[in-house]
Structure 1
Amino acid sequence: MGDYNRWMNESLYEAASTLPPAVLAEDRGAFFCSLLGTFNHLLVADTIWLQRFAHHPGRFSALEPLLNKPTMSTLDEVLYEDFQQLRQARQGMDEMILAFVKEAKEADYEQLLAYRNTKDIAFQKPFGSLMLHFFNHQTHHRGQVTVLLNQLGVDCGVTDLLVRIGEES
């Protein structure tokens, strides 16, 4: 899923890079208004989840840089107005995600993770299920991005996970 996540993000950022900044920022009636808003939301949500994952009892070294970053409190925070800066931050985040998932062991997914949401409500849930949510959330909002790009006449190409699954005999 980490590989698919990086591949899809790069594909969508590449497709969106063909549009002028004003079009990227234009409110299109999406959950997070614009393409730029939706891309920012994905980076915000990933940061929030990875900061929570950094407190996993297994302690993942790939996530240690996030332990000292301030915690975000809103899901619609705009981290970057500039698309290229946002793209660079996304690439860095995707590399961190890949390093993190390579580091995680089977037993880590079976443990419970205690965390607080953005409203400071405490939860304790199976880490493996939270990882499913983490990747599913990204897919959900990237689906919205593909619709917005399609409405603007931008072809996103193939988006199915199936193309990233290797053939075996």
Structure 2
Amino acid sequence: MSQLTQFRLLANYNQWMNQKVYTAAAQLSDAALKQDRGAFFGSILGTLNHLVVADLIWLKRYAACEACADVLAAVVAQDDPTSLDQCLFDDLAQLTDYRQWLDGQILGLLQHLQDSDLTSVLTYRNSKGVTYHKPFASLLTHLFNHQTHHRGQVSTLLSQAGVDVGATDLLLLIDDV
């Protein structure tokens, strides 16, 4: 299995898990979603917003890659987040719609890329203006790892609130051969 095929699997898993998490979150009241639960981003809604903010930041950075610019034009047109804890949407329905759109952008990017694109070096600046030059494939790995990390936190918060997300294993999306 090629590296690009692996990334496409991760993009599909990312979308699948986001759908599961958002469906589970929709079972809670607005107050329960916004309740500070002691997580790094406070609430369930705060953590879900953080994931959207971080994905938006990274996708905008990926657009600097020549192979990604056209496919990510709609992402580049979005306003830049102002902080990692910015609340882009205080309504779960609006956040869900944006999350679905963003997941579509990620899937579109992975369908557009070629294996050779993964060997490029991406130059970007972090929020403090520090410039980095890192392997593009490693930065894609970061995107999916970051999602998994914070979705795990949300899954725990949902469980503590009495909502079961259900099965979350990547194994469920891996074809039997």
What corresponds to 1:7 in structure 2? 16
Structure 1 stretches of 4+ moved >6 Å: none
TM-score by length of 2: 0.92
Superposed CA deviations along residues 68-99 of structure 1, whole A, max 9, x for unmatched, are: 33322310000000110000000010111101
TM-score by length of 1: 0.97
Aligned residues of 2:41 and 2:85 also touching (Cα < 8 A): yes
Please report how far the alpha carbon of residue 65 of structure 1 lies from its aligned counterpart in structure 2 after TM superposition.
1.2
Q: Aligned partners of 2:24, 2:71: CA distance in 1, in Å? A: 29
The residue identity in structure 1 corresponding to 2:103 is: D
What's the secondary structure of 1:123's corresponding residue? Answer: strand
Q: Aligned partners of 1:136, 1:153: CA distance in 2, in Å? A: 26
What corresponds to 1:157 in structure 2? 166
Superposed CA deviations along residues 9-63 of structure 1, whole A, max 9, x for unmatched, are: 0000001100000000000000100000000000000000000001102234221
The residue identity in structure 2 corresponding to 1:110 is: T
Moved more, 64-73 or 39-48: 64-73
- C-alpha RMSD over aligned residues: 0.9
Q: Aligned partners of 1:60, 1:98: CA distance in 2, in Å? A: 15
What corresponds to 2:149 in structure 1? 140
Give identity over the alignment, percent.
47
What's the secondary structure of 1:131's corresponding residue? Answer: helix
5+ long unaligned stretches in structure 1: none
1:83 pairs, out of 81, 88, 92, with 92
Q: Aligned partners of 1:143, 1:114: CA distance in 2, in Å? A: 29
Matched, 1:42 2:51: yes
Matched, 1:65 2:74: yes
Q: Aligned partners of 1:111, 1:42: CA distance in 2, in Å? A: 25
Aligned residues of 1:115 and 1:122 also touching (Cα < 8 A): yes
The residue identity in structure 1 corresponding to 2:12 is: D
What corresponds to 2:5 in structure 1? none
